[in-house]
């Protein structure tokens, strides 16, 4: 049925119901006036009532149409709507009374008064009936055996909106039982009929008192460290944790149950996110031809998303894995359509001829080099592949960028390149050295180092989640191990801003705050899954992997550490490295790889070429001797 026709039929049905209710209110008023004795009703009253009723029906339907009484959504009626309905009934009643008086159809004042009362009850009550039914239905359902018992943290604007929706929504299988807020002035007061029982110190006792099974955190404007502190208290209760993501939800008017998501581990870290200088980055990328190697990976794809918002003239995604490249291509096409000139090239950075061909075709202005083999244990087993891809692949892209006039080249590096203890870290450090040997180049080269990225392909968080889903055990290499963490969007922001501010041969580093124990992360993930560590899910220590450190460093020991305009980003000038030294190193690596020399000899050569490459056992032993036990932030 056509939508307009459907609306017309709906209005007609409601108008007929209004007419019937007007008749019922008139008849009931007459009966009440004469003590429910029809025999006592004077015949002339019945005649006059018939004409008055006809006038009332015509006037009321006309007034209701004018006042849009036939356009309300009955399931969503609120107090303001009820007030407007009462006003509409009063207007229709007043106009009817004047019309009847004018045509000399008088009725006793008691009958007119009773008709007004019954019209307000019937006409407004009919429109509130569906809402009343839904409220009752939700109330009884929430008290059923399967209903969730919910605690809301935050009594501000966002909390009040969610409290109202929790009470009204048919999608919620549960009841809001109590509210927590740190403002002592509202303790003991009520939010939408639910008591504010106290501040964060009352969370654990309130969970026991009210039998809470789910906690919703609804303070979008809170500082990350405060949020982390409150969520760490909540996770110890064993309740399911959900959170309203952030301030942008308030700004976009998206505060609703659909915006609430389960708490993630990153919510517990308490780190202040890196803020991107959008103006600087936009000026850097706008109307530029930008290439992202490894553009289908975790960091590469996020770079592409953020670059696309800066209006580049063309964005080129280069990746060897076509599935990932296809996914990000389709995502960007769906978001931007023809507004973004997007090209995808399936290519290995190890293919020198193909790399040069692509650079010759597009002549990019800016290159973000994210393509690399990054898994430490795999590269320990396959050092020749790490060298072919990370070292020679990077060298091909660096040379192509120089030959075809790229203005800026930004390489994604890692904290594992700092005093590396594994071959992957050593290859990334050698790549940094390649960039540092290009001081005389017209292309500006820089590298960006950061720690582990939460949720990236191959990172520890997805592994832990799979292990928990399978019933455990959750495996960690060493209970003492600590790492720095950041989110994928933060990593991409750092890379973009570093590229915008970079000068020749600089290495940029993010202040990532306090490192975190991997054991703590594992325990938190188990709790956030509604389970108890060591009781429901075992945590098993399996020993350090080859080349793995107990801790990671972000900066090489140097006095040349400089701040930037972004207080979270630092830059370190490295020692001068000659192009001749790099070319000799590359020649030696090529000879060793071509001759298929044993991996022990490849590792020994890398130790010679990267002087900071150290034995992991020695580094870990020194760490324990110096620090007792490496300590990380206790996120719970």
pLDDT digits (tens, 9 = 90+) for 284-326: 999 999 999 999 988 899 999 999 999 999 999 999 999 999 9
Question: Which position has the token pair 């692509």?
Answer: 358
Q: What stretches of 363-422 show up as alpha helix (H) in DSSP?
A: 376-381, 383-386, 394-403
Give Cβ neighbours of residue 320 (< 8 Å, ≥ 6 apart): 346, 347, 348, 349, 371
For residue 584, pLDDT beyond 90: yes
| String of DSSP letters for 586-634 | HHHHHHHHHTT--HHHHHHHHHHHSTT---HHHHHHHHHHHHSS---B-
Residue 12, both tokens:
């007609």
Report the predicted TM-score, pTM, of the whole model to 2 decimal places.
0.63
- pLDDT of amino acid 567: 67
- pLDDT of amino acid 292: 96
Give Cβ neighbours of residue 559 (< 8 Å, ≥ 6 apart): none
- pLDDT of amino acid 255: 41
- pLDDT of amino acid 23: 81
For residue 40, pLDDT beyond 90: no
* 278-455+481-517+547-627 placed in CATH 3.40.50.300: no
- pLDDT of amino acid 4: 64
Tally Cβ neighbours within 10 Å of residue 296: 26
> What is the domain partition of the chain in residue ranges?
3-140, 148-263, 278-455+481-517+547-627
Contact 342, 296 (CB under 8 A): no
Element (H, E) at 158: helix 157-168
| Bridge partners of residue 486, in order along the sequence | 453
Identify which has the larger pLDDT, 430 or 5: 430
Distance of alpha carbon 487 from alpha carbon 453, whole angstroms: 5
Q: What is the mean pLDDT of residues 420-426?
A: 90
Q: What is the mean pLDDT of residues 365-379?
A: 92
- pLDDT of amino acid 561: 62
pLDDT band per the 50, 70, 90 thresholds, residue 257: very low
Distance of alpha carbon 119 from alpha carbon 474, whole angstroms: 67
Question: Which position has the token pair 């071959």?
Answer: 423
Residue 48, both tokens:
């006059």
Percentage of the chain modeled with pLDDT above 70:
78
- pLDDT of amino acid 41: 67
Q: What is the mean pLDDT of residues 162-189?
A: 77
510 burial level (CB within 10 Å; 0-12, 13-18, 19+):
buried
Cis previous bond, 473, omega within 30: yes
Identify which has the larger pLDDT, 354 or 599: 354
Report CA-CA distances (Å) from 363 to 11, 57, 176, 282, 559.
Answer: 64, 77, 59, 20, 38
Quick one: how far is CA 200 from the chain centroid? 24
For residue 495, pLDDT beyond 50: yes
For residue 413, pLDDT beyond 80: yes
Q: What is the mean pLDDT of residues 498-506?
A: 80
Identify which has the larger pLDDT, 30 or 383: 383
Identify which has the larger pLDDT, 52 or 558: 52
The helices-and-strands tally (H runs, E runs) of the chain is 24, 22
CA terminus-to-terminus distance, the chain: 57
- pLDDT of amino acid 316: 96
For residue 36, pLDDT beyond 50: yes
Question: Which position has the token pair 């008086």?
Answer: 101
For residue 147, pLDDT beyond 70: no
Report CA-CA distances (Å) from 205 to 212, 326, 576.
Answer: 10, 51, 61
Contact 245, 218 (CB under 8 A): no
Contact 189, 221 (CB under 8 A): no
For residue 171, pLDDT beyond 60: no
Positive or negative CA dihedral for 12, 13, 16, 17? negative
Quick one: how far is CA 293 from the chain centroid? 26
Contact 294, 316 (CB under 8 A): no
Distance of alpha carbon 317 from alpha carbon 324, whole angstroms: 10
pLDDT band per the 50, 70, 90 thresholds, residue 246: very low
Identify which has the larger pLDDT, 251 or 163: 163
- pLDDT of amino acid 362: 95
Contact 155, 127 (CB under 8 A): no
- pLDDT of amino acid 556: 41
Percentage of the chain modeled with pLDDT above 90:
23
Q: What is the CATH number of domain 148-263?
A: 3.40.50.720
Length of the chain: 636
Q: What is the mean pLDDT of residues 589-599?
A: 90
Longest distance between any two alpha carbons in the chain, whole Å: 119
| Residue 405 DSSP symbol | T
For residue 573, pLDDT beyond 70: no
Contact 416, 423 (CB under 8 A): no
- What digits encode the pLDDT tens for the residues 113-141? 888 888 888 878 777 776 666 566 555 55
pLDDT band per the 50, 70, 90 thresholds, residue 251: very low
* Rg of the chain taking only CA atoms, in angstroms: 35
- pLDDT of amino acid 72: 66
For residue 9, pLDDT beyond 70: yes
Distance of alpha carbon 150 from alpha carbon 140, whole angstroms: 15
- pLDDT of amino acid 304: 94
pLDDT band per the 50, 70, 90 thresholds, residue 252: very low
485 burial level (CB within 10 Å; 0-12, 13-18, 19+):
buried
| 148-263 and 278-455+481-517+547-627 have identical folds | yes
Residue 110, both tokens:
């008691």
- pLDDT of amino acid 549: 66
Positive or negative CA dihedral for 37, 38, 42, 44? positive
């Amino acid at each position: 049925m056509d939508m307009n026709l459907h609306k017309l039929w709906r209005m007609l049905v409601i108008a007929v119901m209004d007419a019937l209710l007007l008749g019922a209110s008139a008849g009931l008023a007459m009966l009440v006036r004469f003590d429910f004795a029809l025999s006592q009703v004077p015949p002339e009253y019945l005649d006059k009532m018939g004409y008055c009723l006809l006038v009332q029906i015509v006037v009321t339907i006309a007034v209701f149409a004018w006042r849009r009484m036939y356009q309300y959504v009955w399931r969503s009626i609120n107090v303001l709507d009820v007030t407007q309905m009462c006003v509409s009934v009063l207007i229709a009643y007043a106009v009817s009374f004047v019309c009847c008086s004018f045509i000399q159809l008088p009725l006793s004042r008691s009958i007119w008064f009773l008709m007004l009362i019954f019209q307000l009850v019937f006409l407004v009550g009919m429109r509130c009936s569906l809402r009343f039914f839904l409220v009752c239905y939700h109330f009884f359902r929430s008290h059923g055996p399967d209903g969730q018992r919910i605690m809301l943290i935050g009594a501000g604007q966002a909390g009040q909106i969610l409290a109202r929706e929790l009470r009204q929504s048919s999608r919620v299988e549960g009841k809001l039982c109590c509210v927590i807020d740190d403002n002592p002035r509202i303790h003991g007061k009520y939010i939408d009929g639910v008591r504010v029982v106290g501040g964060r110190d009352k969370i654990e006792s309130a969970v026991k008192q009210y039998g809470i099974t789910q906690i919703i955190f609804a303070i979008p404007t809170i500082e990350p460290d405060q949020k982390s502190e409150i969520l760490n208290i909540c996770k110890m209760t064993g309740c399911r944790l959900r959170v309203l993501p952030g301030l942008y939800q308030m700004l976009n008017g998206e505060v609703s149950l659909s915006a609430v998501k389960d708490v993630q581990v990153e919510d517990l870290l308490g780190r202040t996110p890196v803020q991107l200088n959008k103006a600087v980055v936009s000026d850097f990328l706008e109307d530029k031809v930008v290439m992202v190697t490894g553009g289908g990976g975790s960091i590469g794809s996020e770079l592409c998303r953020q670059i696309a918002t800066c209006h580049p003239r063309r964005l080129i995604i280069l990746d060897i894995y076509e599935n990932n490249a296809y996914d990000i291509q389709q995502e960007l096409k769906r978001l931007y359509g023809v507004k973004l000139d997007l090209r995808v090239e399936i290519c290995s950075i190890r293919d020198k001829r193909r790399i040069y061909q692509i650079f010759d075709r597009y002549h990019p202005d800016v290159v973000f080099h994210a393509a690399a083999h990054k898994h430490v244990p795999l590269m320990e087993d396959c050092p020749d592949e790490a060298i072919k891809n990370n070292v020679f692949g990077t060298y091909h892209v660096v040379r192509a960028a120089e030959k075809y006039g790229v203005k800026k080249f930004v390489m994604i590096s890692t904290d594992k390149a700092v005093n590396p203890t594994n071959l992957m870290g050593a290859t990334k450090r050698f790549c940094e050295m390649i960039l540092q040997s290009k001081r005389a180049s017209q292309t500006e080269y820089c590298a960006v180092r950061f720690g582990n990225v939460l949720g990236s392909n191959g990172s520890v968080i997805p592994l832990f989640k799979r292990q928990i889903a399978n019933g455990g055990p959750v495996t960690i290499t060493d209970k003492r191990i600590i790492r720095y963490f950041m989110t994928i969007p933060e990593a991409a922001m750092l890379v973009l801003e570093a590229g915008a501010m970079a000068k020749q041969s600089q290495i940029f580093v993010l202040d990532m705050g306090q490192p975190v124990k991997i054991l703590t992360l594992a325990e938190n993930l188990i709790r956030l899954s509604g389970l108890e560590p060591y009781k429901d899910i075992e945590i098993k220590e399996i020993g350090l992997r080859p080349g793995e450190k107990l801790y990671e460093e972000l900066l090489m020991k140097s006095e040349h550490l400089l701040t930037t305009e972004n207080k979270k980003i630092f830059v370190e000038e490295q020692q001068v490295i000659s192009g001749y030294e790099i070319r000799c190193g590359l020649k030696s690596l090529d000879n060793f790889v071509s001759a298929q020399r044993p991996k022990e000899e490849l590792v020994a050569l890398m130790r010679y070429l990267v002087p900071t490459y150290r034995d992991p056992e020695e580094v870990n032993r020194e760490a324990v001797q110096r620090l007792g036990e490496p300590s990380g932030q206790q996120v719970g």
